[in-house]
Structure 1
Amino acid sequence: MVFQRFLRPLLVAATLFASVAATAQVTRIVVPFNAGGATDSYVRAIADEMTKRGIQTIVDNKPGASGMIAADAVARAKPDGLTLFMGSNSTLANNVVLFEKMSYDPFKAFTPVSHIGYQPSILIARADAPFKDLKEYVAYAKAHPGKINRASVGAGNITNLAGVMLDKAAGISTTHVPYTGDPLAIQALLSDQVDVYVGSLTLAMPHTQSGKLRVLGVFDDKRLEQMPQVPSLKEAGYNLDAYAWYCLVAPTGTPAATVDKLNKTINEILASKDFAAKAMQQGVVRRGGSPQDLGRFIRAEYDKWAPLITELGLARKF
């Protein structure tokens, strides 16, 4: 009897704990890239901060099919705010033009939550290239049409589209050399197989710091904090911007109050000094804003890149 008297409170406590655990809500951010990459790490940092602020959050990686596997999974999820998708240029804008068939409509399947950041594209050259800055690059390309080999990670990727956009604006011609990933394109630069590459800061920074690669310009309207010595293309006279951007969206039908709560939390995270330091280390420029801001931005990105993709003959190619 004595044993039972002591045991009963323990059983009640265990039952209550199990009940609370069973009803605990976990928010899941579905990322369309493999775990361990720069973008994945950035999203995980946001997830950690969301958890600290009372929204228990995990990251679920679902790579493949140009991000459409992950996007489709979220589009079909219950619109309760517990499943979010990390959207980007390809999944929410460019894929609409590139692919013949998609299992989801990015303009109808999702409710914008918040921008989270972007990485301006940068024009990177091998250290021994016969041009030291953007002005010399354009002059050399004009004097040697088609001689400059320009790497990318795919014809419809921003790494190629930004390069094509600069070619058109500067009146030059370069030879496109596609690779299957950023590491291979960077390695091609390091081994002198190509002359330039339009990529992101994250992978290039160690090699630019060691002097093996040189950054000629930033596809943005301002200089990067991490590379204040490198001019923006706008400074050089080209009103061009091109970047890989990242945002969070939820399935359509997610309650507005839930979206607003998530948006407020994410913007608080982005504004914090501790998170700002993490973002800078990862080469990401923080960008928040309202759900409405994000919705307008996604549509503007589609309107910006769709005509160029079509002009290049890439529309409905996949």
Structure 2
Amino acid sequence: MPLATRRTVLSAAAALTASAARAQERYPSRPVQIIVPWAPGGSTDILARTLAEPLRLSLGQPVLVENRSGASGNIGSLAVARAAPDGHTLLFGSMSTHAMNEALLKEMPFHGANDFSPIALLAYVLNTVVIHPSVPANTMAEFVAYCRANPGKVAYASAGAGSTNHICAAMLARMAGIEMVHVPYRGGAPAVLDTVSGQTQMLVSAGTQTLEHVRAGRLRLLAVTEGRRSTLLPDVPTVAETIPGYEMAVWYGAMGPRGMALDLVTRLNGEINRALALPAVRDRMSAIGVEVANMSAAEFAAVLRDDAQKWPGVIRDIGITPADA
């Protein structure tokens, strides 16, 4: 290559690199949109709105939260999957949408792990096993023994066939070798209310829905479903302490469209983790049973990938099919 031509090529390459760097430095160049694929008022929505202000301050642009609910979280998630991978459209999604829907819905418009750029694991939702006080059990071991002695007598509520609390309870029954009756409802609120009233006797659900009733004595807390005891309830055992191998850790994560630049993902990961570490944010989330996390983007990507591989098989093994859901 002639010397003059080589210099021209190198100069052009340097200019492109500098231009890309300047564009990256200017991020964000307009408001950042966080899409929550669920209705307003849920814990994912609360988390997004709690983080919006500290992120606005650190990013220097408005951070707008938009709820796009429907299709088990797929409508909002698909909108992000189709967005430009420039960091201006983000998703605050959940394990159910990205690791479970594939096995629960007959058609999926995206792949939960492959069609997104994992940015940060946001939080774990405290997930509780509760029973009506009329059930003669104070521990998970006593509850399992009671169910074995009374097959089919205990009915468990859920927010609907294929919901996370359905999967939790069905998996518990299968691993413990007990028989319970599933009573699906149209949403979590009626499932909780009927368990409180004694129409159903057992429920596995987020602490945001159950702990108020536990404190009032209307429900009895037996265990949490995570693989380790929660820092929010350190004296409450895990299900796995009675049923080895049982684990359901429900997480929320920040994601962008597939193809986001690594330096942009890294920057957003740092900004989000700094916001999550703020005492006001931690206290706000702890009050509703949500334990904030701190992971690199690579660590979150591994969690997402592992769960997307794990849960479809588990769901099939416990007999929940897309037709049921």
TM-score, with structure 2 as normaliser = 0.86
Q: C-alpha separation between the residues in 2 aligned to 1:248 and 1:203?
A: 23
How much does 1:229 deviate?
Answer: 3.2
Q: 1:46 aligns with which of 40, 46, 51?
A: 51
Q: 1:231 aligns with which of 216, 237, 246?
A: 237
Q: C-alpha separation between the residues in 2 aligned to 1:195 and 1:166?
A: 15
| Residues 188-236 of structure 1, C-alpha deviations (whole Å, 9 max, x = no match) | 1111110000001011111111111111111123333443332112333
Structure 2, unpaired ranges of 5+: 1-27
Q: C-alpha separation between the residues in 1 aligned to 2:121 and 2:225?
A: 19
| Structural mapping, 1:185-196, within 5 Å | 185-196=191-202
What's 2:209 paired with? Answer: 203
Percent identity (aligned): 32
How much does 1:166 deviate?
Answer: 1.4
How much does 1:237 deviate?
Answer: 4.8
How much does 1:146 deviate?
Answer: 1.3
| Structural mapping, 1:34-113, within 5 Å | 34-55=39-60, 56-113=62-119
Aligned letter for 1:163? A
Q: Is the 8 A contact 2:171 2:318 kept in 1?
A: no
Aligned letter for 1:139? A
How much does 1:271 deviate?
Answer: 2.2
Q: C-alpha separation between the residues in 2 aligned to 1:307 and 1:226?
A: 30
Structure 1, unpaired ranges of 5+: 1-22
Pair 1:279-2:285 in alignment: yes
How much does 1:302 deviate?
Answer: 2.1
Pair 1:122-2:138 in alignment: no
Q: Is the 8 A contact 2:170 2:318 kept in 1?
A: no
Q: 1:305 aligns with which of 282, 303, 311?
A: 311
Q: C-alpha separation between the residues in 2 aligned to 1:58 and 1:207?
A: 33
Q: C-alpha separation between the residues in 1 aligned to 2:233 and 2:173?
A: 23
What's 1:221 paired with? Answer: 227
Pair 1:179-2:185 in alignment: yes
Q: Is the 8 A contact 2:130 2:222 kept in 1?
A: yes
How much does 1:64 deviate?
Answer: 0.4
Return closer, same or farther for 1:104/1:222 CA change in 2, 3 Å cut-off: closer
RMSD between aligned residues? 1.7
Q: C-alpha separation between the residues in 2 aligned to 1:50 and 1:172?
A: 47
Return closer, same or farther for 1:247/1:211 CA change in 2, 3 Å cut-off: same
Bigger shift: 234-243 or 66-75? 234-243
| Residues 153-172 of structure 1, C-alpha deviations (whole Å, 9 max, x = no match) | 12322201111221122111
Bigger shift: 135-144 or 234-243? 234-243
Q: Is the 8 A contact 2:131 2:203 kept in 1?
A: yes
Bigger shift: 98-107 or 135-144? 98-107
Pair 1:270-2:291 in alignment: no
Pair 1:154-2:160 in alignment: yes
What's 1:257 paired with? Answer: 263
Return closer, same or farther for 1:180/1:115 CA change in 2, 3 Å cut-off: same
Return closer, same or farther for 1:135/1:39 CA change in 2, 3 Å cut-off: same
Bigger shift: 207-216 or 294-303? 294-303
| Residues 2-32 of structure 1, C-alpha deviations (whole Å, 9 max, x = no match) | xxxxxxxxxxxxxxxxxxxxx9511111001
Q: Is the 8 A contact 1:221 1:235 kept in 2?
A: no
Counterpart secondary structure, 1:297: helix
Aligned letter for 2:135? A
Q: C-alpha separation between the residues in 1 aligned to 2:280 and 2:188?
A: 28
Aligned letter for 2:162? G
Counterpart secondary structure, 1:227: coil
Q: C-alpha separation between the residues in 1 aligned to 2:313 and 2:43?
A: 29
Q: Is the 8 A contact 1:158 1:243 kept in 2?
A: no
Q: C-alpha separation between the residues in 1 aligned to 2:161 and 2:282?
A: 33
Q: Is the 8 A contact 1:30 1:85 kept in 2?
A: yes
Q: Is the 8 A contact 1:121 1:162 kept in 2?
A: no
What's 2:174 paired with? Answer: 168
Counterpart secondary structure, 2:269: helix
Aligned letter for 1:269? A
How much does 1:246 deviate?
Answer: 0.5
How much does 1:313 deviate?
Answer: 4.1
Counterpart secondary structure, 1:205: helix
Counterpart secondary structure, 2:300: helix
How much does 1:282 deviate?
Answer: 1.8
Q: C-alpha separation between the residues in 2 aligned to 1:235 and 1:80?
A: 44
